[in-house]
Chains A and B, each alone.
Chain A
Amino acid sequence: MNHIRAKREISSRKAARQRWMPFAISILLLSSFWCSHAASQHPDKTQDTQSVEWWSLQPIRQVDLPPSTEKARNPIDYFVHQRLRQHGLQSSIEADRWTLIRRLYFDLVGLPPSPLDIDAFVTDDSDRAYENLVDRLLASPHYGERWGRHWLDAVHFGESNGFEYNQPRNHAWHYRNWVIDAFNQDMAYDRFVRLQIAGDIIASEKEGIVATGFLVTGPHNTTKPSNDVMRLTMRQDEMEDMVALVGQTFLGLTINCARCHDHKFDPISMKDYYGIASALAGVEFGDQTINMPAPGVVEGNASKSDEGDSLKVWAVTSIDPGKTHLLKRGNVENKGELVSPRGIAALRMLDSDFGLNPDSDGRLRRFKLAEWISGVDNPLLARVMVNRVWKHHFGQGIVLTPNDFGYSGGRPSHPDLLEWLSDYFKKHDWRLKQLHRLIVTSATYRQKSSPNAHAAAVDAGNRYLWRKSPSRLEGEILRDTLLVLSGKLDPKFGGRGYRDMREYKFKGSHFYDVISQDHPEQFRRTIYRFSPRGAMRTLLDTFDCPDPSAITPQRAVTTTPLQSLALMNNDFVVNMSQAFARRLESQAGLNAQQQVFLAYRLAYGRGAEEQAMKISVPFIEKHGLAAWCRVIFNSNELLYVR
């Protein structure tokens, strides 16, 4: 029999192919292509690869403020205007108040302003009218619902295991609500980070455990083969996803690229990778049971489970972490040296030595990791988060790659501004709301969004911010907006999510089939949607809501015929257009002109002009108000925020 020999031949021939590192990338093998490619794409990158001198690994620089300018409202503008001048560009004039309030509402709370809000703002003659509006919106609980969603994208929050069985995670929603609450409470960002890595160790039982839901958001394969190598490899794949999540989310470093070899571009070694993996090795996926103090004190949004006074949450379960070996070429059958839990050595201002042995306690390892990442001297902690916040306000980050501040990532368009904002963020106790306040009160943010051929010829991508780029509503915000306009939104805050699917088990696998949304309990903000993997929804998917298995710090924005079909024909949209029509009839009466006028105020935040009346009124008379509302829902003026 030659079966064994056959296997060995394959092994030797394919040794370099590394069958056991499917998720990782083995860049060594295509060095010629890769290097020439990278070099040609980054002519400005004069620094060496794998250098600890790389800009993002240095302490935050103290920068001098550029001179003030005529149109400036705060220091952000000094930096931006300086850059514009260098490129022969000018900032745009300030947008009108109708535009500004709509922009602020969608950006900060993800909902359209009501006509009363608009009237109050445009007639407010106080010097602080704008600032007061910003403060009011930042204090709204809807702020957390808006900004929490950005965070959930970045951490690939999904409410099922994925893979073959794809079981639902019926208790994962606690983490989602915790994120919303943390944003609303303006939790200091460094604490927000620590809790998500080691909350079960450092905080009160309930909050701490719930926060660790972060580490276990990703896919998890429960179909375990009886073969050891296969099981160990599955675990290593899961660890890589977890290391990717931690490294990219908090540090903007792709540590996961160092599983099978040292990072090709950044100064991250395999030892660094396995050091972080060792720190996380005690993490297992599952439901945790929290004992609640006494009946009656259970918070409204943490409904009691079936077991009475205990609460189930999807969170970290601590297991024996064992000893972590460096795995040569990522192969579980090829163990190298023992590795202690530790941080990334290239962040030289931090002590990467956790002072722990390879066999130390798993919880202690996570605690040390949390301390190391959230260390006050860690420059990436502030830079990466500041850049995320900036990205969501302006549509693109100062660094275009929110999860990659390494060599393969983008270079900052305004390096000094990023440093200055990072320093500001730290000095203001890591408070996000203060950062938002500074950004949205800048003249840069308050600019008009009108196109300008001259500026576009120099800077079509608006990297230098010669205007405020218009943005299209995200899928969730679009759905929320239709609920608001139709008067159907259930503003219930927190709690268990709603379902727009029928879940059932068929031959061992769980499926999530589309059902219609016609129950009031489904009319909640979309962030509360139960979101299992493998449950596509046309209205959300075509509007670029991400696959919950993909870490998505930045969504693509696409425009397709299927998107058009979804917004025209989806039964939810049509139902909402009927509800919007009924609302208009009840509030504006049966006069079509009055109906159009009110609808414009609600949907577009402005009065309807003569021209609009001229085409709308005959349409309503012939085809009905609901049909007209459906057109409004599809119109660009509703979909784009200027």
Chain B
Amino acid sequence: MSDRNQLSRREWLSWATHGLAGAALTDLFAADRPVSAGGGVGLHHLPRSKRVIHICLMGGLSHLDSFDFKPEIAKFHNQSLQYDERPATFFNRIGLIRKNDWEFQQRGRSGLWISNLFPHIAGVADELTVIRSMVTDSANHTPATFQQNSGFQLNGFPVMGSWISYGLGMDTENLPAYVVLPDARGYPAGGTINWSNGFLPSLHQGVAFNTKGTPIPDLFPPSGISPETDAASRQLLRQLNAQDINRHGREDAVMARVRSHELAARMQLTIPEVTAIDGESESTREMYGLNQEPTRDFGRNCLLSRRLLERGVRFIQLISGGSFGSPRINWDGHEDMKKNHSREAQRIDQPVAALIRDLRQRGMLDDTLVLFTTEFGRTPYTQSNDDELGAGRDHNMYGFSLWMAGGGLKPGVAYGSTDEIGWKTAEKPVYWHDFHATVLHLLGLDHEKLTFYHNGIERRLTNVHGEVLREIIA
């Protein structure tokens, strides 16, 4: 048995002390490599999209009131749900069936049904690929959110943005590969757990941009250090490090550190420039809703997302909604759907539609994926006593909707369906693993090959599941 075989490529890449990240950076810093090769494991096939913006609705958007039109539900309005096995919901109260609170219309040339909850998004209906047959494993917010983002219900697994950063590497050296833009009202429950790199190297962690003040922590020195001193300090650091290399010899890791200081300096130039949205035209600001209250925060984040995408960020997570509890600041309409969803939709509807239009008009939608998802849907029956028609809906994991748009997708189509009252998925059920497999596929990555060894298992975003949804791919 040859010992040389112990140094298999896999061991090299994911087990050695300097880990895959070390190897990746060594590649990155090799002078003759194109910048776009920055650190990823490499493509498995030709990509249809190069970057992703993930709009993540926290709390549970009601599919029945937005993207899943159920004309039959009116017949059951105010009636009891028929079941032989009590459905799993969070609060376990099964009130009477309630029809949709927003009217639906067919939109655009495609005729997609979208409700009046999202009049602006309805205006870009022909760009959307709607999935109406999502199913998930938990009707509990945080496990369901983790599963939406990482494929697993527990803490400690890398999220999709981290996997994509790991898979595709950086398209720019001047910005983080994975940026998170939290809701201006606060972080989601669990805080930074939601953009954890899990067991992937830390360079794949989501970098949350602050909504106020310096965009990211530690971007600039604290007051008291002048730009001249800062520049001279970098110069001195280069000299000291050169002396160190003379003394101890060249090491890849040490050379990578030297290079990282240069990249840091570039980030200091790029981040203020990209976050300076004041320079955008008045018509653009108007389009994104920056000039009025309900849309100002999310509009700013949507516009910032487009600017970040233009400059090479791979994955942006735009979060709509903060933590749970009352009064609510997310989509968790347990008490009063009309009030809750009206308020939340008004914050994001116009900005999201503007983002789609803007990406289209700049030619970016051809190779950008826009994902619009939520952790689960809401029940067709209200959260109330058995014989009562309440105003709020509980969590529904058996069927819900999301949409995608952009490079590689068939636009203006709806995939799958729920039953006649929108309770359970009836045709073509889609699990998060299928969704993740499809996203990776569109980016040129094979979800079965994008793996990282961790404690005995070649881990994947899709665990051991996932089928690419070929029907929705153009």
List the interface of chain A (C-beta within 8 A of B).
1-4, 6-7, 9-10, 13-14, 17, 19-20, 22-23, 25-27, 29-30, 33-34, 37, 41-44, 46, 83, 86-87, 156, 162-166, 219, 221, 223, 225-227, 229-230, 233-234, 237, 241, 244, 248, 254, 257, 395-396, 400-401, 403-404, 406, 408-411, 413, 449-451, 459, 461, 463, 469-472, 506-509, 511-512, 514, 533-536, 538-539, 541-542, 544, 546-547, 549-554, 556-566, 568-571, 574, 611-612, 615-616, 619, 622-624, 627-628, 630-632, 634-637, 639-640, 642
For residue B275, give the distance in angstroms from its CB to the closest CB of chain A: 15
B207 interfacial by beta-carbon distance below 8 Å: yes
State A557–B334 Cα separation when bound (angstroms): 45
Contacts of A637 in B (CB 8 A): 240, 244, 247
For residue A538, give the distance in angstroms from its CB to the closest CB of chain B: 5
Knowing A30-B464, A230-B88, A230-B138 are in contact, say whether A635-B189 is a contact too (CB < 8 A): no
Q: Does B425 lie within 8 Å of A10, measured CB to CB? A: yes
Inter-chain CB contacts under 8 Å: number = 394
Knowing A23-B153, A569-B219, A627-B233 are in contact, say whether A544-B250 is a contact too (CB < 8 A): no
For residue A30, give the distance in angstroms from its CB to the closest CB of chain B: 5
| CB 8 Å contact bits of B186-226 with A (1 = contact, 0 = none) | 11011111101111111101010000000011111110110
State A254–B459 Cα separation when bound (angstroms): 13
| CB 8 Å contact bits of B433-454 with A (1 = contact, 0 = none) | 1000000000000001000011
Contacts of A539 in B (CB 8 A): 218
Q: Does B199 lie within 8 Å of A562, measured CB to CB? A: no
Q: Does A162 lie within 8 Å of B455, measured CB to CB? A: no
Q: Does A534 lie within 8 Å of B17, measured CB to CB? A: no
For residue A11, give the distance in angstroms from its CB to the closest CB of chain B: 10
Knowing A558-B22, A559-B260 are in contact, say whether A3-B465 is a contact too (CB < 8 A): no
Q: Does B424 lie within 8 Å of A10, measured CB to CB? A: yes
A and B contact pairs by CB, cutoff 8 A, 27 listed: A1-B421, A10-B135, A20-B137, A26-B464, A29-B464, A162-B155, A166-B189, A234-B153, A406-B456, A413-B3, A470-B248, A470-B251, A471-B17, A507-B186, A547-B155, A549-B154, A549-B198, A552-B199, A557-B17, A559-B260, A561-B260, A562-B176, A569-B218, A615-B239, A634-B237, A636-B244, A642-B248
Q: Does A237 lie within 8 Å of B153, measured CB to CB? A: yes
- Residue of B with least CB distance to A458: B4
Q: Does B236 lie within 8 Å of A612, measured CB to CB? A: no
B298 interfacial by beta-carbon distance below 8 Å: no
For residue B288, give the distance in angstroms from its CB to the closest CB of chain A: 27
Q: Does A29 lie within 8 Å of B92, measured CB to CB? A: no
Contacts of B277 in A (CB 8 A): none
Cross-chain contact of B88 among A22, A229, A241, A396 (Cβ < 8 A): A229
B256 interfacial by beta-carbon distance below 8 Å: yes
Cross-chain contact of B199 among A166, A550, A611, A630 (Cβ < 8 A): A550
Contacts of B218 in A (CB 8 A): 538-539, 562, 565-566, 568-570
Knowing A562-B176, A636-B241 are in contact, say whether A244-B455 is a contact too (CB < 8 A): yes
For residue B370, give the distance in angstroms from its CB to the closest CB of chain A: 26
Q: Does B244 lie within 8 Å of A547, measured CB to CB? A: no
Q: Does A542 lie within 8 Å of B425, measured CB to CB? A: no
Q: Does A3 lie within 8 Å of B421, measured CB to CB? A: yes
| CB 8 Å contact bits of B16-54 with A (1 = contact, 0 = none) | 111111100100000000000000000000000000000
Q: Does B424 lie within 8 Å of A6, measured CB to CB? A: yes
Known A538-B217, A574-B221; further 15 A-B contacts with Cβ < 8 A: A10-B429, A22-B152, A42-B5, A87-B3, A164-B190, A237-B154, A400-B15, A506-B186, A534-B194, A544-B201, A556-B20, A556-B22, A558-B25, A559-B253, A569-B219
Q: Does B7 lie within 8 Å of A630, measured CB to CB? A: no
Contacts of B413 in A (CB 8 A): none
Contacts of A560 in B (CB 8 A): 25, 202-203, 260, 263
State A221–B144 Cα separation when bound (angstroms): 12
Q: Does B15 lie within 8 Å of A401, measured CB to CB? A: yes
B463 interfacial by beta-carbon distance below 8 Å: yes
B229 interfacial by beta-carbon distance below 8 Å: yes
For residue B1, give the distance in angstroms from its CB to the closest CB of chain A: 5
State A162–B325 Cα separation when bound (angstroms): 17
For residue B78, give the distance in angstroms from its CB to the closest CB of chain A: 15
B142 interfacial by beta-carbon distance below 8 Å: yes
Contacts of A4 in B (CB 8 A): 82-85
Cross-chain contact of A17 among B187, B250, B465 (Cβ < 8 A): B465
B372 interfacial by beta-carbon distance below 8 Å: no
Contacts of B142 in A (CB 8 A): 163-164, 221, 223
Contacts of A639 in B (CB 8 A): 257
Q: Does A401 lie within 8 Å of B456, measured CB to CB? A: yes
- The residues in B between 137 and 187 inclusive whose CB is less than 8 angstroms from any CB of A are 137-143, 147, 151-157, 173, 176, 186-187
| CB 8 Å contact bits of B379-401 with A (1 = contact, 0 = none) | 00000000000000000001000
Q: Does B7 lie within 8 Å of A461, measured CB to CB? A: yes
Interface residues on B, range: 35 or more
Q: Does B253 lie within 8 Å of A472, measured CB to CB? A: yes
Contacts of B250 in A (CB 8 A): 451
Contacts of A557 in B (CB 8 A): 17-19, 21-22, 253
Contacts of A449 in B (CB 8 A): 248
Knowing A10-B135, A223-B142, A556-B20 are in contact, say whether A627-B190 is a contact too (CB < 8 A): no
Cross-chain contact of A627 among B225, B268, B398 (Cβ < 8 A): B225
B283 interfacial by beta-carbon distance below 8 Å: no
Q: Does B267 lie within 8 Å of A561, measured CB to CB? A: yes
Cross-chain contact of B192 among A29, A237, A508, A534 (Cβ < 8 A): A534
Q: Does A542 lie within 8 Å of B202, measured CB to CB? A: yes
State A600–B147 Cα separation when bound (angstroms): 51
Q: Does A396 lie within 8 Å of B17, measured CB to CB? A: yes
- Residue of B with least CB distance to A161: B155
Q: Does B257 lie within 8 Å of A6, measured CB to CB? A: no
Contacts of B263 in A (CB 8 A): 560-561, 564
B74 interfacial by beta-carbon distance below 8 Å: no
Contacts of B91 in A (CB 8 A): 226
- Residue of B with least CB distance to A263: B456
Q: Does B233 lie within 8 Å of A630, measured CB to CB? A: yes
Q: Does A508 lie within 8 Å of B15, measured CB to CB? A: no
Knowing A219-B155, A534-B192, A619-B232 are in contact, say whether A635-B237 is a contact too (CB < 8 A): yes
State A615–B243 Cα separation when bound (angstroms): 11
State A627–B229 Cα separation when bound (angstroms): 7
- Residue of B with least CB distance to A229: B88
For residue B230, give the distance in angstroms from its CB to the closest CB of chain A: 8
Q: Does B254 lie within 8 Å of A636, measured CB to CB? A: yes
Contacts of A627 in B (CB 8 A): 225, 229, 232-233
Q: Does A536 lie within 8 Å of B1, measured CB to CB? A: no
B431 interfacial by beta-carbon distance below 8 Å: yes
State A61–B156 Cα separation when bound (angstroms): 37
B2 interfacial by beta-carbon distance below 8 Å: yes
State A225–B322 Cα separation when bound (angstroms): 20
Q: Does B191 lie within 8 Å of A534, measured CB to CB? A: yes
Knowing A44-B6, A509-B324 are in contact, say whether A13-B217 is a contact too (CB < 8 A): no
Q: Does B464 lie within 8 Å of A162, measured CB to CB? A: no
Q: Does A508 lie within 8 Å of B325, measured CB to CB? A: yes
Q: Does A512 lie within 8 Å of B191, measured CB to CB? A: yes
Q: Does A558 lie within 8 Å of B202, measured CB to CB? A: yes
B116 interfacial by beta-carbon distance below 8 Å: no
Contacts of A542 in B (CB 8 A): 202
State A534–B19 Cα separation when bound (angstroms): 24
Cross-chain contact of B456 among A225, A257, A509 (Cβ < 8 A): A257
Contacts of B221 in A (CB 8 A): 568-569, 574
Shortest Cβ-Cβ A-B pairs, 10 listed: A507-B325, A254-B456, A549-B156, A226-B92, A508-B325, A549-B155, A534-B193, A534-B191, A564-B264, A227-B88
Cross-chain contact of A254 among B191, B323, B455, B463 (Cβ < 8 A): B455
Knowing A6-B424, A395-B17 are in contact, say whether A404-B456 is a contact too (CB < 8 A): yes
Contacts of A9 in B (CB 8 A): 426
B103 interfacial by beta-carbon distance below 8 Å: no
Q: Does A3 lie within 8 Å of B83, measured CB to CB? A: yes
Contacts of B455 in A (CB 8 A): 244, 248, 254, 401, 403-404, 551, 553
